[in-house]
Amino acid sequence: MTLFDRVFGGNDAVYGLTEGAIDGAIAQYGEDKAVSFPNTAYSLPCYYAVTGTKVTTLKELKEALGVVKTLMTREKRLNDAFMSGVATALCAEFIEVLKYIDGATPYEEPCYGHLADAVIRELGVPLVTGDIPGVAVILGAAPTTEEGVALVKSYQAQGILVTLVGGIIDQVAEAGMKTGANVRVIPLGKDVTAVIHVVSVALRAALIFGNVKPGDAGTLMKYTMDRVPAFVNAFKPLDDVIVACGAGAIALGFPVVTNETENIFRVPKSLIVQEDVSKFNATSLEARDIKIKITNIDIPVAFASAFEGEIIRRKDMQVEFDGSRVDCAELVQTCDASEVEDHKITVVGPEVDDMELGSKNSIAYVVKVAGKNMQPDFEPVIERKFHNYINCIEGVYHTGQRDMQRIRISIDAFNAGFKIKHIGEVLYASVKNEFDAVVDKCEVVIYTDPAECTRVRHEVAIPIFDKRDERLDTLTDESVDVYYSCILCQAFSPSHVCVVTPERLGLCGAVSWLDAKATHQLDPNGPCQVITKERPIDENLGSYEDVDEAVQKFSQGALEHVTLYSIMQDPMTSCGCFECICGIEPFSNGVVIANREYAGMTPLGMTFPEMASMTGGGVQTPGFMGHGKHFISSKKFMKAEGGIERIVWMPKELKEFVAERLNKTAQELYGIENFTDMIGDETVAEDPETLVAFLTEKGHPALGMDPMM
Ligand code: SF4
Ligand code: NI
Ligand code: NI
């Protein structure tokens, strides 16, 4: 048998199954029955991405199968094999979507099945920053449970997102390993067709971030090949169906590594035989050209970004520190070089061994840094990273910041020998590693003595926080001489540029003006560059000749004009990883804002994913704009159209999140008290008529404003 015979044979088999399944469904439900995956604006995402056609009913699904058939040419050329691989993948998507008929939930814990658009948007930032350096797709059962679990853990320790299909899921469960999106190990499903759910992620990434036009299969495959760092590990025995799926993966640029030696054909860099499963990791990374940032820290538990989302429940915790109940603080302090002893870690007060099981304690850590290029403005930038650093420790959980942080250390971590001083090791190593351009020396003092914590909190930390807040309040777009560009997201959105100003943070919510300034200082040729603002065109729109020139340059000519304060005229582009999106609501002359976490309907008749699909990919879409949560309370939020007075609706949760700051801004700008009470949410209205009635009753100012279009 040749490779062609195996691919074509596998493709034919899957096609036959798909045809049977669709016919069966039509016989059962009738051809007008709706078919869709939940929480996506992209219909059947793979079929839509490849062909540009949205399938909505069984009748259309049957027609789509006819289109798939045209890909299944049988000449013995490489391209025919690849297209048959793609056809196999599309058939898998059809089989999978049938499982979701009538709103069924075919996947049970721990399996995920279809992944929502929101999951892909969340992956945007970590993928561009290299925090998630790659995506592994593991298929089938490893020779032994130990080998399978070791492989999964090896990827997890590197921060790689691992998706599992088939027998490996049971192996991982048998070993008692925690899985889930929060620890970056995602079991998709046990049928081989479940592999389509990760392909769907890759193809939607191209549509969401890459502005690839649905139906442009050539550009689509180039995008996944160049920009989605995925690869496949397939355990033997490989049947023809898996081989055909593998051809599809290779067509998308994803190499396949297997331990199958029988009846297999090697394709350099694409289909690789590696008999030793313990070498799958190294072989895969080499084939996909993935580089791993190594942070070696001397602690008794693992340290990897994959553990960032890990949650420690009360019953699993050894001890807890809680700034909302007792005095806690976390602080970076710039010192003179003579005051800092590099890598010195001191614990003042009891160690974990001296604390009672399940007890609540005080903790305050002061990270003293010194460096020629260090500026006090970088202190909060470094401090804000503590959350990530401490969370990356396996078995340690951190939330909050400043003097409101909360930390839990798990019983498992404690039993492994984890101590308070190891928090110091982690802070030291991470700060030195990430901020080496500004931090020459770093020393950590950790206080657990309650009286010392009280002193540090009230006498040292809080006065510093207050000073910083005063400084932040005076940081306005007018008060600074330069803005910064950010092009980190160009890894996925090649023409996208964020212009970051003091009053407008990056749309991902993760890059403030201070962050951009620090990033520029740390890496002068990196993603954040200085943009001067010496030649204003229109202050109200926030347009500048300098800004236009910068975006032209950084978008390689794709963008000509960008305004900072308008969503109608030359609005800033969106990459796809925005925290929120706002869109015009014509009946009220206002805008509706939805956040990524919101799963319900908005008065625009669109969900978040549907609104989000209107923009992204680095293109300008007047009337729709992605932005960060904190931008909502900015005095510059669509200032050109009248500002925050235009906001008529937000999900309740988001409204509560921004209430304090938004109300303060409304009070300062317009003298309105408790502005958020005038703004609708899903408990008030999910359609425009009810919303307008509510706004009328509340006397919402937008109703009296000029129409936006
Ligand atoms: Fe991406 Fe903009 Fe955030 Fe930079 S600021 S990471 S370009 S969204
Ligand atoms: Ni106190
Ligand atoms: Ni982005």
Tell me: the pLDDT tens digits for 372-383?
Answer: 989 988 998 899
CATH code reported for the domain at 3-103: 1.10.8.190
Q: Is the CB of 497 under 6 A from ligand 1?
A: no
Distance (angstroms) between ligand 3 centre and the Cα of 508 equals 6
Q: Which helix (H) or strand (E) element contains residue 86?
A: helix 78-98
* Complete edge-to-edge strand list for the sheet that includes strand 482-486: 498-500, 482-486, 530-532
Q: In the CATH scheme, what architecture does the domain 117-288 have?
A: 3-Layer(aba) Sandwich (3.40)
C-alpha distances in Å from residue 337, one per residue of 333, 382, 439, 482: 12, 18, 10, 30
511 lines ligand 1 (CB under 6 A): yes
Q: Is 604 in the pocket of ligand 1 (CB under 6 A)?
A: no
482-704 in CATH: which number?
3.40.1470.10
**How do residues 251-262 score in pLDDT, each as one tens digit?**
999 999 999 998
- Ligand 1: atom nearest CA of 487 is 7
Q: Does any ligand 1 atom lie closer than 6 A to the CB of residue 505?
A: no
Can you give the residue ranges of every domain in the chain? 3-103, 117-288, 305-463, 482-704
> For residue 304, is pLDDT > 70?
yes
**What pLDDT is attached to residue 294?**
67
Whether residue 130 is predicted with pLDDT greater than 80 in this model: the reply is no
| CA 528/CA 193 separation, integer angstroms | 42
Q: Is the CB of 498 under 6 A from ligand 1?
A: yes
Beta strand ranges found along 277-384 (DSSP E): 317-322, 329-334, 345-348, 359-361, 364-370
Give ipTM to 2 decimals: 0.90
Whose Cα sits closest to atom 6 in ligand 1? 488
User: Are the C-beta atoms of residues 136 and 163 closer than 8 Å to each other?
Assistant: yes
What is the β-pairing status of strands 580-585 and 536-538?
Answer: unpaired
Whether 167 shows a pLDDT value over 70: the answer reads yes
At how many degrees (to 10) do helices 58-71 and 3-29 cross? 170
Query: What is the C-alpha to C-alpha distance for residues 335 and 341, in angstroms, rounded to an integer?
Result: 11
Residues in the chain: 709
Topology of domain 305-463, CATH: 3.30.1650
The pLDDT value recorded for residue 264 is 84
Q: Which ligand has the minimum distance to the alpha carbon of residue 329?
A: 2
Per-residue pLDDT, 157: 87
> Is pLDDT above 90 for 283?
yes
Distance in angstroms (rounded) separating the CA atoms of residues 308 and 314: 18
